Amino acid sequence: MKLKRSQEPIFWLLFGGGGTLAALVGVVLIVITGILVPAGSLPPDTMSFAAMHAFAASLFGKAAIFLVITLLLWHGVHRMAATAHHIGLASAHTAQIVLRGFAALATAACAYLLVGL
């Protein structure tokens, strides 16, 4: 048998990291940003531009935003690529390349925007 080393561990580690983070903070973020703030259950300036800008400009804020956006994205594209493969799409491999390319570009864009803040 010919055995060629897989490069999959990189993407699997990103997928796993994203899954862990999604489980830890994903739901909390949805509840805060999607329900509590719009419903007015939290102080009105919780997500004001000034507060958000200050958070995103701090080192901790930059790191948190970068990790949450990019790792969850890598997690998501991994799942979508697996789904394409599971339903037997003939173009599943192409879909995987496109999805990972998108995640890579978005990761770069996220880093660029956060560094410039």
Partner 1 sequence: MTDTRTIRIEALRFNPETDSEPRLQRYEVPFTPDMSVLQGLQYIKDHLDGSLTFRWSCRMAVCGSCGMMINGRPHLSCETFLRDLYPGPVRVEPLDHFPVQRDLAIDQAGFLDKLAAIKPYIVSAKERPLSEGPSRQTPAQLDAYYQYSQCINCLLCYAACPQFGLNPDFIGPAALSLLHRYNLDSRDIGWSVRADAANADVGVWECTVVGYCSEVCPKGVDPMHAVNENKVNSALDYLGVKRLLGGR
Which residues here bind partner 1, judged by CB under 8 A?
Answer: 1, 3-6, 8-10, 12-13, 82, 85-86, 88
Q: How far is the CB of 13 from partner 1 (least distance, A)?
A: 6
Instruction: From 77, 59, 61, 104, select the one nearest 18 (Cα to Cα).
Output: 77
What is the sign, positive or negative, of the torsion defined by CA atoms of 82, 83, 89, 92? negative
Q: How far is the CB of 10 from partner 1 (least distance, A)?
A: 7
> Do residues 72 and 22 touch, judged by C-beta distance below 8 A?
yes
Q: Which lies closer to partner 1 via its Cβ, residue 86 or residue 116?
A: 86
Q: Which lies closer to partner 1 via its Cβ, residue 99 or residue 110?
A: 99
Q: Which lies closer to partner 1 via its Cβ, residue 15 or residue 110?
A: 15
Instruction: From 77, 98, 83, select the one nearest 14 (Cα to Cα).
Output: 77
Q: How many CB atoms lie within 10 A of CB 46?
A: 13
Q: How far is the CB of 21 from partner 1 (least distance, A)?
A: 17
